[in-house]
Structure formats: structure tokens, C-alpha cells
Chain A
Amino acid sequence: MSLIVESVAKRFDRFPALKGASFTAPRGAFVALLGPSGSGKTTLLRILGGLEFADTGRVTYENEDWLAKPARERRAGFVFQHYALFRHMTVEKNVAFGLEVRPRRSRPPRAEIARRVRELLALVQLDDLGKRYPSQLSGGQRQRVALARALAIEPRMLLLDEPFGALDAKVRKDLRHWLRALHERLGLTTIFVTHDQEEALELADLVAVLNAGQIEQIGTPAELREQPATPFVADFLGGNLGQPRAANVTRLHRH
């Protein structure tokens, strides 16, 4: 297993946001963290990205102590729900940012940066919009710029925090398919936070269902559909998917 998360916990003041979450995922997996708001999914993602510090727990990624690395050295491409584009920079400058802030010895030459930016904008299908400012783009376009910006640093993992949360239903659907196709092409380990069960089941290889700071169940979409481990999982995935089996329920309650 390439990503191993062990009992990661975090509290804010007195409120326990995460009460010991554990899961593992193979290299190149597309993992969805699914749960209602306040379930701790975004906190877990931010801990993986280094934007928040875990109180306790371990994360190992590709045999490295991941939490010991400072955020800026992790090369974890982070995509925010509200894009977080640099509003005073053009699209090109946004995408180039991660390359331009590198120390001089590891910074690619200017022509190389320009070439990479062009490539990435082509990848996210925004070839002609390089000179625009973020405020001149639609929501879906902004989110693709944010993705191109995150990909520019050749990230070791991709972290997406409800990337489609602020978009309308039609754009959401299109981008969802496009993102899945992109993942197949790049093969990057991707962790994806969402509260939309349909999105999680359709996109991910593995879905972790979170509730009140704990992972209730992790499995493939098929496993979750057929064998929800707890009433919460069954309920959250939708009433029409059947009640959890009696055996599972008792097992959980003794747990």
C-alpha cells in the first residue's frame, strides 16, 4: 500500500474534528472521502496537504513519514472548493506560480516554464484563456485553471476539496467525467472530498464514508452499495440502496 493513514486525530478548541481516522490506498488510486458537513473529511484532506497539523496519528506515503515534511516540500497539489486562484495574476501566471517560486537552482528556464504552462492549459482545455484574469472566467473554467496550477508542480498526490461544490449541476457532471479521464491518463494518487454520494460512487476507486470524525467504512463503490457496514452508511448512500444486513448491524454495535 502506498498511502497509509493511521489513527489521525485533530481537535479544534474543544471540538474533535477527527477522532482517529485510518485507511490505506494503493498507488494511483482515486479515493473519495465522503460524508456530511462536519464529518471531518476536509480536515483529513488538509492534514494530508500540510495545511493543518494532526494532533496524533501517522501518515506514510511511498515509505516516507509524510506528516514530518512541511507543506511546501510535500508537492501535494491542492485544489480548493473556491478555487483560491491568485486574483491579481493572469491564468498563465497562476499556472506558472509553482515553478516560478522554486529556488533558482531547481527553477526551469523561462522558455521551459512557458512551454509547460501551454501544455497544461491545453490539458485542461483552456488554450486561449492564458491572458485572462480569474475574475473573467466562469466557475468551471476557474476550477480547471486551479487544477492546471496544481499539476504544474508535478505533484506526488492530488488533493481535491469539493472541487465541484460551487458549480451548477450540468458543469459538475461534465467536469466529473473529464476529471476521471484525466486521472486515468495521469495515474496520480488522488484524494477527493465530497458530500455528494453520487459523485463519490461514480468517480472513485475507493470510497471512505466519514461520520462525526470517524471513517465508518472504506471500500469500492460496489462493496459500499452491496454491503453497507453501518446504518449510517446505508442511509447516507441513499434509502433506495437497501437496508444494511442485520448481521452487519449487530457486529458494528458490539464494536
Chain B
Amino acid sequence: MALIAHPRGATEDRRSVRVLSVAVAIAFVVLFLLLPLATVFSQALANGLDFALAALKDPDALSAIRLTLLTAAIAVPLNTLFGAAAAWAITKFDFRGKGFLVTLIDLPFSVSPVISGLVYVLIFGMAGWIGPFLRAHDIKIIFALPGIVLATMFVTFPFVARELIPLMSDQGREEEEAAISLGASGRSIFWRVTLPNIKWGLLYGVLLCNARAMGEFGAVSVVSGHIRGQTDTMPLHVEILYNDYQFVGAFAVASLLALLALVTLALKSFLEWRYADEIAAVHRH
């Protein structure tokens, strides 16, 4: 009896197909993800580490870093709160217009950030709808911190809600109902049942939201006014330095932003690894 030349499992591909697909994937990752990242760091260090650090110690750079951190510190907690509230309402209750609300939450993903920035200028700007009112009361929103925070919040709103909605709708209401029938108050249900079940999803949402809040360019660029040392965030500062032919400075600030992203990713992976059992227990039942 003749032996079959290449015995393989029914769902297994040919060896050549496997090798090729893995090679394509690796090539893609190297070319489009690792190479640019490496370039950012090598450009920043082109004139040595001291030079790069000096660029970061520049007062304008420090101000941009401060502004970025401050913006994230305001926008992320608020969006966490709003995102969790929206996900809670959508998944635990039935009401009219629910589908519309879900679509609305996705809006920032589908609208170009530049347009959302422009809308804020149209509303809050000097010539905008409530511009005269704001001017009369000496309130500055556009070209100031409030505008930057608003634009950042708009762009990063979906992250927490998007992470939580599938998780919470998958988990359903039964555990909360069980808690009620066991005599728990609304508050203890939230702290003892709902929150522990969503904490990992919530954490991922917050990490992603934070990464995007620090990196947002388009919307912030429109409302910031690019006042150096005052309304420049890190991404905006990178652009300014680059346009001024200060490549090392630009890449030094860019490296710092890239590092923030890497730290976020590392933190996420670490948590996934450290609490793998618990995460698995919450997801499957």
C-alpha cells in the first residue's frame, strides 16, 4: 500500500502556506511598526543622549509635557466616568433611543478629529455662537486649556464605553438580580458585583483612552492656537520643532510620547499575565 506523501491534519495548511503567511506577518510588523519606532529613537539620539535630554529640558518642551499630562489627568477620569455610566445605562436597562445612543458614542471614531475641533471653534470661538457671551464674562475656552480638554474628551470618549459595552452585555443582569434578591443595596451591588466584573475591561479602556488623550493631534491642533509655552501639547510641540528643522528636539519629544505608549502596552501585558486566572474566570462562566 502506498503511503500518502504528506500526512497532515484536516485543518492544517501546507507547510509552504504556513511559512509564507508567518513571513508576511513578520515582515509587516517589522516594516510598519518596529522600523518607524526604531527610527524615532535613533533620530532622537543622533547627537547623543545629553543632547536629547537637553531638548526635553527646554522650557517650551517642559510646558508642553505639563499641558499634555494635565489634559490627560482631567479628560481621562471624566471619560472613565461618562463611559462607565453610558455602558451601564445601555447594557442594564431598556429605554427608547438606545440604538441611537450607541451610534452617538461611536461618532468620535467616525468624525475626523479636525472637524470636531472646528466645531468647538464655531461654538466657543470669538466669532462663534456663544463667543460674545464668553468674551463678556472673560471666559477663555478656545486657544486655552478648557478647549484642549474638551477636544481631547470628545476624541477619546468612545474608548471606555466601547470596551465595557460588549463585556457588560455579555455578562447580563443576572448577577445583579441575584444580589438584589439576596438583600444587597444598590451601592453594595455596584462595589461588590458590577465593578469587580468589569474592572479589567475598565482598566484597558482607561489605558487606551489615556494613550490616545496624550497623543491626540488633529482636534487639539485646531483649538489650541499653537501658543508656544502656553497651549502647545506634546504632539503639537513635535510638529513645531520639526517644522523649525530642530529634528533632534522633535524626535526627543516624540520618543517620550512613544515611550508612554510602550509603557501603556507593557502595563497592559503585565496585568494580563499577572491576573490571567482571574481574567479568565470573569470572562467565561
Contacts and interface: CB of A to CB of B under 8 A. Distances in A.
Given A97-B179, A135-B280, A88 B197 contact: yes
Given A97-B182, A98-B183, A78 B282 contact: no
B8 interface: no
Contacts of A74: 181
A97 B185 CA distance: 12
A182 interface: no
B177 interface: yes
Contact of A51 (B181, B188, B193, B285): B181
Interface in B125-180: 174-175, 177-180
Nearest to A133: B281
Interface stretch (A79-87, A170-178, A190-198, A246-254): A79-87
B285 A49 contact: no
B196 interface: yes
A51 B177 contact: yes
Interface residues on A, range: 20 to 34
B175 A86 contact: yes
B281 A135 contact: yes
A73 interface: yes
Contact of A101 (B175, B185, B278, B285): B185
A72 B282 CA distance: 25
A72 B196 CA distance: 21
Interface residues of B, number: 22
B181 A76 contact: yes
A161 to B, nearest CB: 10
Interface in B7-28: none
A88 B198 CA distance: 10
Given A84-B178, A86-B175, A134 B285 contact: yes
For the complex, would chain B's binding face be called helix, strand, loop or mixed by DSSP majority? helix
Contact of A50 (B181, B184, B196, B284): B181
A51 B175 contact: no
Interface string A29-68: 0000000000000000000011100000000000000000
A101 B183 contact: yes
A89 B282 CA distance: 10
Interface in B203-232: none
Contact of A98 (B174, B182, B196, B278): B182
Nearest to B284: A135
Contacts of A84: 174-175, 177-178
B181 A72 contact: yes
A115 interface: no
Nearest to B197: A88
A150 B281 CA distance: 22
30 contacts: A50-B181, A51-B177, A71-B180, A71-B181, A72-B180, A72-B181, A72-B183, A72-B184, A73-B183, A80-B174, A80-B177, A82-B174, A82-B285, A85-B285, A86-B178, A86-B192, A87-B281, A88-B281, A97-B182, A98-B182, A98-B183, A98-B184, A101-B179, A101-B184, A101-B192, A102-B183, A134-B281, A135-B281, A152-B182, A153-B183
Interface of B: 174-175, 177-185, 188, 192-193, 196-197, 278, 280-282, 284-285
Interface of A: 49-51, 71-78, 80, 82, 84-89, 97-98, 101-102, 133-135, 146, 149-150, 152-153, 159
